[in-house]
């Protein structure tokens, strides 16, 4: 396994993060335990979840599964950099979501209880809250850090200007602030190259791509089509990008690599990227993901990938202004 620093921090995390959104809805608890144990064996120490995963309001099903896994002991907690999120709806009350100090306080206590731990290594804002001032958010989080319940703080689904705004206020409070940003980023979705990536690079914020395989579309979907049932969203991606996927899978075959591994390797070549989030449903998928760490994409291959999957044209404002 390869490791890198989480943003500008001294914390080292694996270059692949284990996403757990499937745990509960699609992967049984027993199989989830097997995947988590195997991840540690492979050297993956970065585990990402969220209080809303499991998709039953207020229950935190996925966090509960991870908590019962950690409770088995054997050094599981000590070997794990544990990341979860706050923002989503956790009840029916008017303050059971978003980023008010009131909700943050309740949410972190709920996550700690479900995860059966006394601290969260990376506490992430699952979405921007335009209704709550940053002074309130940072005051609440600073208290959690002082109490030892949270170590680092990250964001998710933020725009570039929102990263800068949040970090500017954190700096004025002499607080470390954001160390990571979890964004939608893959070969088919490259919008963050305009402003999020440049902002993250300038601020020392590590980018954690979610949906690195575009919901499976970059995982060899043409070859597998018919072999497995596709979700409605994945089927739409297939129809939208069919011509590009033909070229992409042909390039992967030419290189002798699996399409999924090329997609992950492409993300890993970007120095701003800390760790793409992989969400395996099976051990086979987990083991297969490690191949991406060994793939070095040449300038020629990177150019060909840009031709197949053109991005926004570079970074703002040069991408659209003289």
* 18: CATH: 3.20.20.100
Residues identified as active-site: 53
| Token pair of 93 as six digits | 């009350």
First-last CA distance in the chain: 43
Q: Given pLDDT bands bounded at 50, 70 and 90, which one contains residue 9?
A: very high
The answer to the question of residue 287 being in a domain is: yes
The tens digit of pLDDT for each residue in 252-299 reads 999 999 999 999 999 999 999 999 999 988 898 899 999 999 999 999
Q: What are the DSSP E strand ranges found in the chain?
A: 3-5, 12-14, 17-19, 46-48, 81-86, 120-125, 150-156, 178-184, 206-210, 277-278
pTM of the model: 0.95
Q: What is the pLDDT of residue 234?
A: 78
Alpha-carbon span 79 to 81, nearest angstrom: 7
* pLDDT higher than threshold 90 for residue 237: no
Q: Nearest Cα to 186, choosing from 141, 140, 163, 217? A: 217
- How confident is the model over 124-134, as a mean pLDDT? 98
| Token pair of 235 as six digits | 């089927």
Alpha-carbon span 214 to 260, nearest angstrom: 10
The answer to the question of residue 320 being in a domain is: no
Q: What is the pLDDT of residue 122?
A: 98
SS3 123: strand
Alpha-carbon span 27 to 282, nearest angstrom: 8
The answer to the question of residue 16 being in a domain is: yes
Q: What is the pLDDT of residue 233?
A: 78
* pLDDT higher than threshold 90 for residue 140: yes
Q: What is the pLDDT of residue 226?
A: 52
The answer to the question of residue 313 being in a domain is: no
- How confident is the model over 48-60, as a mean pLDDT? 96
| CA count, 13 A, side-chain hemisphere, 46 | 23
- How confident is the model over 110-125, as a mean pLDDT? 98
Q: Nearest Cα to 35, choosing from 306, 293, 213, 287? A: 287
- How confident is the model over 244-250, as a mean pLDDT? 97
The tens digit of pLDDT for each residue in 76-109 reads 999 999 999 999 999 999 999 999 999 999 999 9
Q: What is the pLDDT of residue 225?
A: 61
The answer to the question of residue 315 being in a domain is: no
* DSSP secondary structure of 16-28: SEEE-TTBTTTB-
* DSSP secondary structure of 99-114: S-HHHHHHHHHHHHHH
- 227 against 215, higher pLDDT: 215
* pLDDT higher than threshold 80 for residue 231: no
Q: What is the pLDDT of residue 159?
A: 98
The answer to the question of residue 187 being in a domain is: yes
The answer to the question of residue 303 being in a domain is: yes
Q: Are 155 and 124 in contact (CB under 8 A)?
A: yes
Q: What is the pLDDT of residue 228?
A: 58
- 103 against 224, higher pLDDT: 103
| Cis check: omega of the bond before 317, within 30 degrees of 0 | yes
The tens digit of pLDDT for each residue in 150-178 reads 999 999 999 999 999 999 999 999 999 99
Alpha-carbon span 86 to 97, nearest angstrom: 8
* 225 phi, psi to nearest 5 deg: -55, 125
* pLDDT higher than threshold 60 for residue 227: no
Residue 27: C-alpha distances to residues 59, 65, 280 (Å):
17, 11, 9
The answer to the question of residue 321 being in a domain is: no
- How confident is the model over 127-143, as a mean pLDDT? 98
Q: What percent of the chain has pLDDT over 70?
A: 98
* pLDDT higher than threshold 90 for residue 322: no
Total domains in the fold of the chain: 1
Q: Which domain holds residue 102?
A: 3-308
Give me the chain's average pLDDT, please. Answer: 95
């Amino acid at each position: 396994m390869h490791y890198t620093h989480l943003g500008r921090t001294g914390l080292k995390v694996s270059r692949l993060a284990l996403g757990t959104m499937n745990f509960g809805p699609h992967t049984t608890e027993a199989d989830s335990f097997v995947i988590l144990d195997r991840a540690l064996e492979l050297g993956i120490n970065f585990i990402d979840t969220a209080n809303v995963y499991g998709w039953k309001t207020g229950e935190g099903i996925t966090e509960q599964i991870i908590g019962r896994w950690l409770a088995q002991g054997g050094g599981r907690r000590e070997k794990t950099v544990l990341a979860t999120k706050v923002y989503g709806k956790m009840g029916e009350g008017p303050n059971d979501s978003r980023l008010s100090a009131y909700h943050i306080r309740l949410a972190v206590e709920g996550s700690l209880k479900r995860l059966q731990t006394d601290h969260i290594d990376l506490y992430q804002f699952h979405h921007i809250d335009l209704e709550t001032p940053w002074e309130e958010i940072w005051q609440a989080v600073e208290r959690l850090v002082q109490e030892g319940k949270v170590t680092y703080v990250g964001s998710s689904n933020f725009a570039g200007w929102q990263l800068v705004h949040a970090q500017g206020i954190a700096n004025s409070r002499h607080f470390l602030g954001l160390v990571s940003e979890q964004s939608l980023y893959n070969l088919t979705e490259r919008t963050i190259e305009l402003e999020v990536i440049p902002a993250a690079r300038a601020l020392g914020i590590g980018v954690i791509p979610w949906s690195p395989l575009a919901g499976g579309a970059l995982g060899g979907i043409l070859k597998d089509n018919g072999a497995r049932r596709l979700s409605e969203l994945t089927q739409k991606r297939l129809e939208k990008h069919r011509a590009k996927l033909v070229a992409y899978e042909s390039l992967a075959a030419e290189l002798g690599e699996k399409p999924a591994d090329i997609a992950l390797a492409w993300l890993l070549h970007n120095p701003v990227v800390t760790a793409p989030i992989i969400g395996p449903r099976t051990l086979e998928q987990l083991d297969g993901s490690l191949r991406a760490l060994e793939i070095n994409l040449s300038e020629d291959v990177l150019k060909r990938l840009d031709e197949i999957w053109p991005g926004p044209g570079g970074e703002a404002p040069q991408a659209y202004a003289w």
